């Protein structure tokens, strides 16, 4: 039996995409909004890897919801699937992180903050009700304050407390024209942790998703709800082999080992099909053959196995790639960072936080680590063959 996955949703973005993820899982596993299985539910899936089950047979997401202000979490709990969640696994306190990575990180890091201990206690409570933990899945954004800063601190603590467990992240990379002016600082500092800690990072590029929604789904001006719904499909697709018992996927390690054979080249980009408008005049063909036309590289027998399982009325396929083109995404972020850091723009917002009490060296270190990752993705063959070490010698 596959081990359990605990999903940790951090910040506004993390909780919004997490909400779409759980809605999608309930649809695929035929679980109603009240948490009970519907009459269409198939019994022999691996739903308990992502859900626990109460004595009354109600399914409860193995989820921990975390934010430093209550608005989004309250909205989630009051939405159509809000009754699914265990209220004892919810943390929402404070007045936000002000879109500042150091402020979000400080919510757990600072000695005078009680938030860190409370968050770790909630996570431990969810771990204790599991018979066999396989790993953790963290949903967050790299741009704001809570998802990036507090999310970074949580990743570090997961390693400290459960170092032998797999860690996977669903990390939202924001639009280049984001209204968060310190986004480049937040992104670089978060990327350092994403390089060092998880075994696999699923890159969710907001800008690319919006462009695809406009071009393929004919949505003139995609809303965040549209984007998050597509992200929910991607997240469900990445986890489907484990949830539906693909023969070669027993744990998160099986997925990460196939996609991320060399660290730190563990950043996965995704495509999803079909992406057609929700309109009767557009025909959606969702047989395995048609779904996989966009990727002849994936073993067909695996896809056939998975698509024969879900009972959902709407099927989709996700293509996961570890590709050197990710270097362009990183380079754009680094360029924005260098432009701002050179002029020390908005840097005082960071200097006043406890994490930078001894100076900005941690920010420079994070920047250099991202630059090294860019070089590795720009020439992965040399990196994987040990060329980097030879040049250093």
Average pLDDT over residues 175-200: 92
pLDDT digits (tens, 9 = 90+) for 121-158: 999 999 999 999 999 999 999 998 999 999 999 999 99
Task: Name the pLDDT band for 41 (thresholds 50, 70, 90).
Answer: confident
Residue 288 lies in a domain: yes
Q: Kindly state the tokens that stand for 132.
A: 């066999």
Residue 391 lies in a domain: no
pLDDT digits (tens, 9 = 90+) for 11-22: 999 999 999 999
Residue 373 lies in a domain: yes
Residue 393 lies in a domain: no
> For the whole prediction, is pTM greater than 0.85?
yes
Residue 123 lies in a domain: yes
56 Cβ contact list (under 8 Å, min separation 6): none
Place of tokens 């989630």: 76
User: What CATH number is attached to the domain comprising 307?
Assistant: 3.40.50.1440
- pLDDT of 102: 95
Residue 392 lies in a domain: no
Give me the number of domains the chain comprises: 1
The yes-or-no verdict on residue 348 having pLDDT over 50 is yes
Q: Give the structural domain span for 273.
A: 4-382
Place of tokens 């936000």: 96
- pLDDT of 388: 46
With H, G, I as helix, E, B as strand and everything else as coil, classify residue 212. helix
Task: Name the pLDDT band for 292 (thresholds 50, 70, 90).
Answer: low
The yes-or-no verdict on residue 298 having pLDDT over 50 is no
CA torsion, ordered 368, 370, 371, 377, to nearest 10 deg: 150
Residue 340 lies in a domain: yes
CA 231 to chain centre: 9
Residue 126 lies in a domain: yes
**CA angle, 229 as apex, 225 and 231 as ends, to 5°?**
115
């Amino acid at each position: 039996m596959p081990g359990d996955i605990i999903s940790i949703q951090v910040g506004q973005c993390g909780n919004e995409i997490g909400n779409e993820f759980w809605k999608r899982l309930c649809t695929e596993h035929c679980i109603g909004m009240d948490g009970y299985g519907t009459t269409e539910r198939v019994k022999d899936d691996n739903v308990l890897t992502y859900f626990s089950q109460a004595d009354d047979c109600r399914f409860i997401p193995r989820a921990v919801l975390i934010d430093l202000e209550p608005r989004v979490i309250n909205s989630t709990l009051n939405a159509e699937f809000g009754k699914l969640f265990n209220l004892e696994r919810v943390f929402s306190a404070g007045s936000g992180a002000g879109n500042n990575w150091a402020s979000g990180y400080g919510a757990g890091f600072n000695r005078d903050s009680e938030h860190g201990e409370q968050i770790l206690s909630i996570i431990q409570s969810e771990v204790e009700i599991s018979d066999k933990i396989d790993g953790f899945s963290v949903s967050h954004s790299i741009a704001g304050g809570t998802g990036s800063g507090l999310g970074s601190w949580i990743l570090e603590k997961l390693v400290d407390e459960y170092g032998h467990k797999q860690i996977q992240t669903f990390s939202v990379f924001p639009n280049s024209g984001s209204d968060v002016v310190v986004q480049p600082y937040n992104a670089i500092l978060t990327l350092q942790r994403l390089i060092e800690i998880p075994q696999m990072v699923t890159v969710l590029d907001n800008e690319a998703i919006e462009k695809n929604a406009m071009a393929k789904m004919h949505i003139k001006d995609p809303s965040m709800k549209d984007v998050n719904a597509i992200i929910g499909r991607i997240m469900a697709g990445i986890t489907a082999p484990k949830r539906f018992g693909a023969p070669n996927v027993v744990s998160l390690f099986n997925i990460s080992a196939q996609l991320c054979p060399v660290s730190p080249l563990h950043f996965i980009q995704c495509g999803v099909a079909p992406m057609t408008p929700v309109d009767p005049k557009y025909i959606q063909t969702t047989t395995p053959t048609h779904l996989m036309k966009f990727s002849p590289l994936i073993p067909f027998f695996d896809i056939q196995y998975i698509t024969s399982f879900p009972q959902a009325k709407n099927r989709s396929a996700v293509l996961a790639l570890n590709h050197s083109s990710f270097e362009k995404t990183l380079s754009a972020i680094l360029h924005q960072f260098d432009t701002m850091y050179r002029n020390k723009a908005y840097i005082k917002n960071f200097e006043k936080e406890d994490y930078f009490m001894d100076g900005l060296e941690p920010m420079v270190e994070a920047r250099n680590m991202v630059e090294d990752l860019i070089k590795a993705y720009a020439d992965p063959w040399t990196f994987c063959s040990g060329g980097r070490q030879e040049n250093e010698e």
